[in-house]
Amino acid sequence: MLRWVRQQLGFDPPHQSDTRTIYIANRFPQHGHYVPQKFADNRIISSKYTVWNFVPKNLFEQFRRVANFYFLIIFLVQLMIDTPTSPITSGLPLFFVITVTAIKQGYEDWLRHKADNEVNGAPVYVVRSGGLVKTRSKNIRVGDIVRVAKDETFPVDLVLLSSDRVDGSCHVTTASLDGETNLKTHVAVPETAVLQSVANLDKLVAVIECQQPEADLYRFVGRITISQQMEEIVRPLGPESLLLRGARLKNTKEIFGVAVYTGMETKMALNYKSKSQKRSAVEKSMNSFLIIYLIILLFEAILSTILKYAWQAEEKWDEPWYNEKTEHERNSSKILRFISDFLAFLVLYNFIIPISLYVTVEMQKFLGSFFIGWDLDLYHEETNQRAQVNTSDLNEELGQVEYVFTDKTGTLTENEMQFRECSINGIKYQEVNGKLTPEGFSEDSPDGNRHSLMKEEELFLKAVCLCHTVQINADQTDGADGPWHANGIASPLEYYASSPDEKALVEAASRVGVVFTGTSGDTMEVKSLGKPERYKLLHVLEFDPNRRRMSVIVESPSGEKLLFTKGAESSILPRSKSGEIDKTRIHVDEFALKGLRTLCVAYRRFTPEEYQEIGKRLREARTALQQREERLADVFNFIERDLELLGATGVEDKLQEKIQETIEALRLAGIKVWVLTGDKHETAVSVSLSCGHFHRTMNILELVQHKSDSTCAEQLRQLAKRIKEDHVIQHGLVVDGTSLSLALREHEKLFMEVCKNCSAVLCCRMAPLQKAKVVRLLKTSPEKPITLAIGDGANDVSMIQEAHVGIGIMGKEGRQAVRNSDYAIARFKFLSKLLFVHGHFYYIRIATLVQYFFYKNVCFITPQFLYQFFCLFSQQTLYDSVYLTLYNICFTSLPVLIYSLFEQHVHPHVLQSKPVLYRDISKNAHLGFKPFLYWTILGFFHAFVFFYGSYLLMGEDTSLLRNGQILKPNRQMMFGNWTFGTLVFTVMVITVTMKMALETHFWTWINHFVTWGSIVFYFIFSLFYGGIIWPFLHTQDMYFVFVQLLSSGSAWFAIILIVVACLFLDVVKKVLYRHLQPTSTEKAQLTEAGSGINCLDSMCCFSDGETACTSVRRMLERLMGRCSPTRVNRCGISLNSLCCRRFSYKLEPDEPAAIDV
C-alpha cells in the first residue's frame, strides 16, 4: 500500500530500470546476485471507482464544479446561521443533482466492472510443473508460458516461442487493436520454434531482456538468451515476435508464448488513452453567464443589506413593536450583523444561479447523442456501419465549425486501389486484357495465348511480387499447388495486405503472368508464366514514414543476393545511380497529374563480401537494446544506396461518392476546407481539382520546394501582394511539408494572413505532427475559429485530437482514427448531414436551453428581491419553501428538457438542401452578448410584471389585520403575504411554461404532454399540498391558501391578464422581426410552410389502424431526418381546445403533394 501511494505521488516510479529481465517459466537463478522484479498482475481495470472510494471520489469530482460548490456553501451557511429559508430549499436540489449524476456515473462504472470481471475471469491454459494447467486470465504472471488455440484472443502480451508449424510462424489479426483485418505473420526464433510440446517447453532455460512497457503498438525491442548444451545463444526480438493482448490467432492450430507484459502494462491497456478534455463554446459561454449572474446576485445581496441598515437608521424602523431585538442582538458587533445579514440575503436570492442547469445539460447531451447513431441517413449499408458517438460533450460544437481539415486517402477517396499504369525501363505500360502492353501499342494476339515477358519487365514484376507484406488465404495455400490446377485453369488467389497499394500491385502482377503463390518458412514462391521459382527471404527492411520505403533482401534460385526496394519517388530516385531515371521521373509526374498514387521500384545486387558486411551490421543493430531504431535506420540507409532503377507504378484511388457536392455544401455554409495529405504535390493537386476542393477558375498559388527562410519569406510576401491585387477572384494555396516548416518557424503571421485570404488550402507531403501543428495554428489564431479534423488513418490521430471536433472515418487504414475521435462516420459525404442538420439542431436546442434556464431563474428570484422593499428588508421570503425547492426540479424542468431533445425549428431536408442556413448560427450567434442580454432583460421585465401586476390587481384598498392577513372589502377572502406570493408564483409558472411553448416549433405528443402537464401538475400538487394537513410538517403556512386563491374570480382574471401582458410584447416583437428583419432561417421556415412541409407535425393523432408504437417509430424517424411519409398526422393546438386534423404530403419533388382535411 505504501509503495502504491509513493508511486501515485511520483516518489517511487514503478520501473527504475529502462529494461526488464524475464525468466521463462519463472526459473530464477539459484546462485549469484538476483534482485526480484515486481510486475503488474494480469487484471484489466477500466473502471474508475471501487466500492470503497466511490462516494468520496465522486463527491470530490462533482464539487469541483463551481455551481455545485457554490450551493454547498449556501447550504452550509443556512445550517450555521439563521436564514430566511430552510436549508432544505438549497440542500434538496443540490442532493437531487448530486444523486442523479452519481447514479449515472455509478451505473456506467458498474458496466465497466462487469466487463472487466468477464475479461479477467476468462479461462486460459498455462504450462506449469510439466503440464497444462487451466486457470483464470487474471492469474497469469510475467514469465508464464501460455497456450493459445486458433481463433482465441491473446490474454497478455506474449513473445512467441513456438507454433504448430515447423518454422514457428503464426498468423494473427489485430482488428480489435487497430482495425486492420489483414493477417499479420509473427515468427519465433529458430531455437524455440522446434519446442512444440509441453514437455519440451518445460525444459527450456532462457531469459528475455526487453524494454519497459510503452503504448506504441508497433514498437518492441528485446533479446532472448537461450541456454543450450552449456552455451548461450542470443537472438533479437522485435515487433514480429510480440503477440499483443486483444489480437486474435488465425489459421494456426495453437501457439505457445511467454508473458512479458501483463494487465495494465499491456500495450492494449496503455492505449486506453484518456483524451484531453475538450470544452465546447457553449460550455464556455455558460460559465461566463454564471459569473455575470453571480455578480448580479452579489449586487442584489449587498444592495439589500445596505438598504436594510439605511432604513433602520430611523428609530421607529430599527426595532418595531412586532419585531423586538433580543439582548444578544442589541450587544452583537455591527460588522458581524452586517456579514450575517449579507449572507442571509445571499441565501434568499441564491436561486438566481440555476443549479439544475448542469444536470439538464448533461442529460440533454447524453440522450441527444443517440439520435446520431439512430440516423439511418448516416448508416452505410455496404459495410453495415452506423455513425458512432464517442463523446456527447461536443454535440453543439458540430453547429459552430468554421474550418474543416481533411485527410485525402481513405477520407476523400475510397482507399480501393486499382492498377492503371506503370513505367518499366523508361517505357510506359498499361494493362490490357491481362497483358502488359506498351503505351500506344495495340495487342492483336488472342486472349488465350500468353506472350513472353522481356527481361526488364519480368524483373520489375518479380520485384513487385517479392517486396511486400502481402499474405495469402491459408485455405488456398494448403490446397492445390498454387493458382494453376491440373486442368490448367487459373484459380485467383485471395490476397490480404495492410496496404491497399501492395495488394493492387501483387494482383496486377498475377494477372499479367508473375504470380506470388505464398511463403513457406523463409522461402517466397513466385510463378513466372507458370514456371515456379523459390527465393529465400534473408532480411526484411520494414517500411517507416521517415524513409518512406521498404526493402527485402532475397537469395535467387541461382544463389545471387538481391535487394528489392519500393517507395515514394522522393526516397528512391535520389538513391538510384543507374536506370532510366529522367524518363521515369517524367512518367511519375504524368501519373501524378492524372491523380494516380505513385511508387518507384529499384534493386541492387550484392557481392558476397558486401552481403557479409550487411549481415553483420544488421545483427548488431537488431540485438541492441539501446537506440535500436536509430541504429537500424543508419544500417538501412547504408544498404539502400547505389540502386538500379527498374521503374514506377501508377495506382488509382477512386473518389468517394458525393465528395464534390459535400465540399461545395461546406463552402456555401461558410466553412473553409483544408486538405492535409502525405501525397506528392502533383497527385494532391489533381485530386483537389477532381473533388471540387479547387475550382478550375480558381487562381492556384504555390509555396513549394523552398529550402531557406529567405526564399520562403519572399515567396509569401509575393503571394500576399498577388492576393491583394486580385482580390476579386478566388485563390487556392498549395504548400508542401518543407516549405510549411520554414513558414511556421519565422513567418507564422504572414503565412496565416495568406491562408485566411484563400478559399481553399492544400498541404501536401505532410508528416502527422505537421498536420496537428497546422490545426493548432488556426485554432490558436486571434479569431479562435472552431476547427474540425477528419481522417481515417493512424497518421491522422494527432490532428483529430488537436482539433475542437475530431471525426474518424471507418475506412481501411485501421480503427485508430475512429478510437481517438469524438465522432465516427463511414463516409465523408455524411459530414454534411452531421453538421448542417444534427449540428444545427443541437446548437439551437442547447443555446435556447441555457438562456431559458437563466431567464426563468431571473423571473423566479427578482420578485423576491422586489418584495424586500415592502417588508423593510426583513428577509421575509415571498414563496413557500416547498415551492422554492420544486420550482427547478419539478414545475419547469421537463418542457425545456423535451424541447432540447426534439426541437426542429426547420425541417431537416431544408437544412441539408440549404447549407447557407448554417451561417445563421455560426460564431456562437445565439449565445452571444445580445441574445443573453435580451433573455436577461426579458426575465427582469416579466418579473416586474408578475410582482407589480399582482400587487396592483389584488393588493389595493386593503386593511391590515392583526394576524398579518388582509381582508378585501365586501369579500371575505383572506389575502396575506402567502396568498400574494402564491399568486405571483402561479403566474410565473404559467408564463415561463408558455414562453417555452412559444419557442417550440416542432410539436409532438410528448411536448404537449409535458408542457400542459407541467401546469396541470402544479395546480394538482398545490391543491393537495395546501388542502391537507400533513402530520410530518412542523408548520403549514400554505394551508387552504391555494384553494382560497382559486375560488376568487378576480384571482383568475389577474392570472390571465398578467400572463397575456407578459407574453404579448414578446409575440409582437417576434412578429415584427420576422416580417421586417427576417433571418435566412426564418425565410426558410416561411418557404417550408408554403411548400407543404410544416414543423408542427405531431403525434397526438394516429392514422386509421395505426398503433401508438408506430407513431413513436415515425417520430424517431422524423427526428433523424428520415421522415418522408405518404401520410403524416398533424395537430392544431390552442389553449382552449385540442382539435385534430389529418394531413398527408410528399417530400419527394417527383411526387404530388396531397392534403386531406
Q: Which residues are catalytic?
A: 407
Phi-psi region of 1095 (alpha: psi -120 to 50; beta: other; left: phi over 0): alpha
**What letter does residue 132 receive in the DSSP assignment?**
E
- Burial grade of 380 (CB within 10 A; 0-12, 13-18, 19 or more): middle
Contact of 1140 with 1131, CB cutoff 8 Å = yes
Q: Where do the H-state alpha helices sit in 868-976? A: 881-886, 894-902, 908-913, 929-954
The partner residues of 535 in beta bridges, in order of sequence, read: 524
Contact of 1144 with 1123, CB cutoff 8 Å = no
Can you spell out the DSSP letters for 415-482?
EEEEEEEEEETTEEEEEETTEEEETT----S-TTSPPPPPHHHHHHHHHHHHSS--EE-HHHHTSSST
CA 1026, chain centre distance (Å): 50
Length of the chain equals 1157
Name the phi and psi angles at 284, rounded to 5: -65, -40
CA 963, chain centre distance (Å): 63
At 912, list the grid cell.
441539408
Collapsed DSSP state (helix, strand, coil) of residue 313: coil
- Burial grade of 585 (CB within 10 A; 0-12, 13-18, 19 or more): middle
Contact of 397 with 411, CB cutoff 8 Å = no
Contact of 764 with 750, CB cutoff 8 Å = no
- C-alpha pair distances (Å), 1054 with each of 953, 1046, 1048, 1057: 6, 11, 10, 5
Contact of 985 with 888, CB cutoff 8 Å = no
Q: Where do the H-state alpha helices sit in 121-186? A: 175-178
**What letter does residue 213 receive in the DSSP assignment?**
P
**What letter does residue 566 receive in the DSSP assignment?**
E
Decide the pairing of beta strands 672-676 and 760-764.
Answer: parallel
Contact of 1058 with 945, CB cutoff 8 Å = yes
Question: Residue 538 and residue 564: Cα distance in Å, rounded?
Answer: 12
Cβ–Cβ contacts within 10 Å for residue 30, how many?
A: 6
Contact of 959 with 1034, CB cutoff 8 Å = no
- Burial grade of 972 (CB within 10 A; 0-12, 13-18, 19 or more): exposed
Residue type, 702: E
Residue with cell 398545490: 1022
Non-local (6+) Cβ contacts of 235 within 8 A are: 189, 190, 191, 223, 224, 226, 623
CA angle (492, 493, 499) in 5-degree steps: 125
The partner residues of 824 in beta bridges, in order of sequence, read: 388, 808
Question: Residue 1013 and residue 874: Cα distance in Å, rounded?
Answer: 36
First to last CA, the chain: 76
Question: Residue 827 and residue 792: Cα distance in Å, rounded?
Answer: 10
Non-local (6+) Cβ contacts of 552 within 8 A are: 466, 467, 537, 539, 540, 541, 563, 564
CA 62, chain centre distance (Å): 23
